[in-house]
Structure 1
């Protein structure tokens, strides 16, 4: 089993494992490395008519997935915000590690300043690393609970159920094994999710010059 591989998580851990990974990615710094976007997409396929081919005869329960995924993401975000409010800058002053770096902290701070709380929380759901770091950051700067709650719920539903639905609809159209489609589609999802960060880096370098 590989916790950093979406296919492995879905096939080996099932629904409970998917929800646990979503919670960790949005609520705990250890979740910085987890494959949120691709995991949701593969889970959507696994809940579709071709789910049996992906899970060796077993499909993910569709209703439970569509309900449980946003709940896990919402709950994780609240935990992340709580850590930020309780431990403050200590969370962000730690030395660089394999996944946690000061550059990513700076990028998240700029993201929040540029877009404001509402738009930032929604857009951050689709950006690896940012969706993990922005929740404790919100706790650090003490965004009002009601404001955070509203945008957290909206962003979580759009992100989780939106990507799951895409995977589900594709799965309904595919006949037979889905393995040959997974790698290129997951690669495209990862590339698209990293595109906003690449654009921001390019713009920053252009401003410096």
Structure 2
């Protein structure tokens, strides 16, 4: 039978917090579906034995999310709009950047709160806020609200689902299903990144030296 202890030793609370931090702080955690990760962690907190106490998720995840937002904001402020052309942002794709701009145009500063609940957009929003010179205090205010709501409520919903008798009976299978929804999108994102990188390499124009090299045939 599937052992929850194995999950704790291989993934761990620290691993979840690092992924949450990276998602907005280092622009690379976007490959993980954060909502599913948090929901599954909440279910695992209700397992027997528990993955970790629920309160550690509801406190630790918002803090990790806030810190990630702050780092993303300062990266955007420091690097400026040029960050759009970095490899990490190219991996994410221009669609997420355009969507973030659309949300800012429509909702203003509240975008920082709303973006927490939208995959990939929450990765880009702090950076966009940074290079757009959004007021830092206002950014932090909405970041704290969004991180607390997202990082507290989603694990709580997962935990409450674990209260349902049929879920308790088949908890291990529900956890396995949750992990599958994590690993499959993760593999798909990695595949897309590798595919984009290979396409970029295949379409890289030749250097002047290569272009002027005579044909030896």
TM bucket (normalised to shorter chain) is: 0.7 to 0.9
Deviation at 1:138, TM superposition (A): 0.3
TM-score calculated relative to the size of structure 1: 0.75
How far apart, in 2, do the equivalents of 1:139 and 1:10 lie? 35
TM-score calculated relative to the size of structure 2: 0.72
Moved over 3 A (4+): 8-11, 94-99, 179-187
> How many residues were matched structurally?
173
Q: Which residue of 2 aligns with 1:34?
A: 32
1:165 equivalenced with 2:163 (yes/no): no
1:137 equivalenced with 2:135 (yes/no): no
Deviations, residues 47-87 of structure 1 (Å, cap 9, x unaligned):
12xx23xxxx4531222211101000000000000100000
- Unmatched tracts of structure 2, length 5 or more: 1-5, 182-217
SS across alignment from 1:29: coil
The one of 156, 170, 182 equivalent to 1:177 is 170
Further displaced range: 132-141 or 91-100: 91-100
1:127 equivalenced with 2:125 (yes/no): no
Q: Which residue of 2 aligns with 1:151?
A: 142
How far apart, in 2, do the equivalents of 1:117 and 1:26 lie? 17
- Unmatched tracts of structure 1, length 5 or more: 1-7, 188-209
Further displaced range: 89-98 or 100-109: 89-98
Would the aligned equivalents of 1:28 and 1:80 in 2 still touch at CA under 8 Å?
yes
Alignment root-mean-square deviation, CA? 2.4
Further displaced range: 103-112 or 161-170: 103-112
